[in-house]
Amino acid sequence: MPEIEPRYIMSDDQKPVGMMMDISIIEEIEAVTEDFGLAEYIRKSDDDDPLGHSKPLKSYRNGKESQERRW
């Protein structure tokens, strides 16, 4: 990860009230956060019981039929 070089936004009395970073740094932070969230979701879902074949198939068919009726 590249070095974060923050640029502070100062108030009139010279207290820091905000910070600016390069967009590339922010995008990298977002990517790491999303990857971590996805990994946590996968880890938690591993504890769930696996779905059987018939229930998801029935749900898929019902959704497909309702979309066809809209057209």
What's the pLDDT tens digit per position in 11-26? 999 999 999 998 988 8
Alpha-carbon distances, residue 14 vs 4, 11, 17, 20, 47 (angstroms): 22, 5, 9, 16, 51
Q: What is the pLDDT of residue 60?
A: 82
The model's pTM: 0.46
SS3 content of the chain, % helix, strand, coil (to 5): 55, 15, 30
Question: What are phi and psi for residue 20, nearest 5 degrees?
Answer: -115, 140
User: pLDDT, tens digit, for every residue of 31-48?
Assistant: 988 888 888 877 777 666
